[in-house]
Structure 1
Amino acid sequence: MIPALVERQAETEQRTFYALDTHEAFRKAGFYRILVPRRYGGYEFGADTFMRVAVALTRGCPSTGWMYTLGAAHALAVATIFPERAQDEVFAAGDFIAPSTIMPSGTAERAEGGWVINGTWGYCSGSPYATHFVGHTLVAAGDGAPPEPMAFIAPRSVWRRLDDWGGQLGLRGSGSHSITIENGWIPDHFTIPGHLSQFSVADGTPGLRLHGNPQYGGGPLSFMNLESAVLAVGIAKGALDAYEHLMRTRTTLFPPVVGRVHDTDYQYWYGEATGMIATAETAVLGAIGQWRDACAAGPDAFTTELEMRLAGISRQSVQLCWHAVEGHLLPTAGSSSVRHGERLERTWRDLSMLHTHAGFAVFLAAKAQRELTKAHFDVADDGLAG
Structure 2
Amino acid sequence: MTVTRRVPGRAPTLPPEPDLTPAEVVARAEDIGPLLVERQGETEKRTYYAVDTHTTFKNAGFYRILVPRRYGGYEFGVDTFLRVVMALARGCPSTGWMYCLGATHALQVATLFDEKAQAELFRGGDFICPATIVPSGAAERAANGDWILNGTFPYCSGSPYATHFLGHTLPSQAEGEPPAPMLFVAPREEWRRLDDWGTQLGLKGSGSHSIHFENGRIAEHLTLPGTHMSEVDVSTTPGRQLHGNPEYGGGPLSFMLLEVSALAVGMAKGALDAYENLMRNRTTLFPPIVRRAESPDFQWWYGQAAGMIATAEAAVLQAIGQWSAQSARNVAGFSREEDLRLAAICREAIRLAWHAVESHLFPTAGSSSVRQGERIERVWRDMSTMHSHAGIGVLLASTATRELAQARFGVGER
TM-score class, shorter-chain normalisation, is over 0.9
Unaligned runs of 5+ in 1: none
Do the aligned partners of 1:35 and 1:73 also contact (CA within 8 Å) in 2?
A: yes
Match of 1:49 among 77, 80, 90: 80
- 2:228 matches 1:195: yes
Do the aligned partners of 2:138 and 2:171 also contact (CA within 8 Å) in 1?
A: yes
Shift of 1:2: 2.1
Residue of structure 2 in register with 1:108 after alignment: 139
**Aligned pairs for 1:29-178 within 5 A:** 29-111=60-142, 112-178=144-210
TM-score (norm 2): 0.91
Match of 1:316 among 348, 352, 367: 348
SS at match of 1:215: coil
Residue of structure 2 in register with 1:184 after alignment: 216
2:58 partner letter: R
Structure 1 runs of 4+ off > 6 angstroms? Answer: none
Shift of 1:336: 0.4
SS at match of 1:196: coil
Match of 2:48 among 14, 17, 20: 17
Paired-residue identity, %: 66
CA offsets, 1:278-335, max 9 Å, x none?
Answer: 1001001111111100110124351111000011011111100111000000000000
CA distance in 2, matches of 1:301, 1:26: 32
2:246 partner letter: P
Match of 1:343 among 364, 372, 375: 375
Do the aligned partners of 1:243 and 1:333 also contact (CA within 8 Å) in 2?
A: yes
Do the aligned partners of 1:239 and 1:343 also contact (CA within 8 Å) in 2?
A: yes
CA distance in 2, matches of 1:8, 1:235: 15
- CA-atom RMSD in angstroms: 0.9
CA distance in 2, matches of 1:212, 1:3: 37
2:229 partner letter: L
CA offsets, 1:66-105, max 9 Å, x none?
Answer: 0000000000000000111110001001000000001100
CA distance in 2, matches of 1:62, 1:114: 38
Unaligned runs of 5+ in 2: 1-31
CA distance in 1, matches of 2:176, 2:287: 75
Match of 2:336 among 304, 312, 317: 304
CA distance in 1, matches of 2:50, 2:331: 40
1:128 partner letter: P
Shift of 1:141: 4.1
Do the aligned partners of 2:138 and 2:172 also contact (CA within 8 Å) in 1?
A: no
2:240 partner letter: L
Do the aligned partners of 2:137 and 2:169 also contact (CA within 8 Å) in 1?
A: yes
Residue of structure 2 in register with 1:281 after alignment: 313
SS at match of 2:48: coil
Residue of structure 2 in register with 1:232 after alignment: 264
Structure with more of its chain in helix, by fraction: 1
- Length, aligned pairs only: 381
CA distance in 1, matches of 2:134, 2:246: 28
Match of 1:218 among 244, 250, 258: 250
Do the aligned partners of 1:337 and 1:344 also contact (CA within 8 Å) in 2?
A: yes
Shift of 1:365: 0.9
Residue of structure 1 in register with 2:358 after alignment: 326
Shift of 1:8: 0.3
Do the aligned partners of 1:287 and 1:313 also contact (CA within 8 Å) in 2?
A: yes
Do the aligned partners of 1:239 and 1:347 also contact (CA within 8 Å) in 2?
A: yes
Do the aligned partners of 2:90 and 2:270 also contact (CA within 8 Å) in 1?
A: yes
Do the aligned partners of 2:40 and 2:92 also contact (CA within 8 Å) in 1?
A: yes
CA distance in 1, matches of 2:105, 2:221: 17
**Aligned pairs for 1:367-386 within 5 A:** 367-381=399-413, 384=414
SS at match of 2:215: strand
2:86 partner letter: V
Shift of 1:134: 0.2
Shift of 1:142: 3.3
CA offsets, 1:29-67, max 9 Å, x none?
Answer: 000000000000000002000000000000000000000
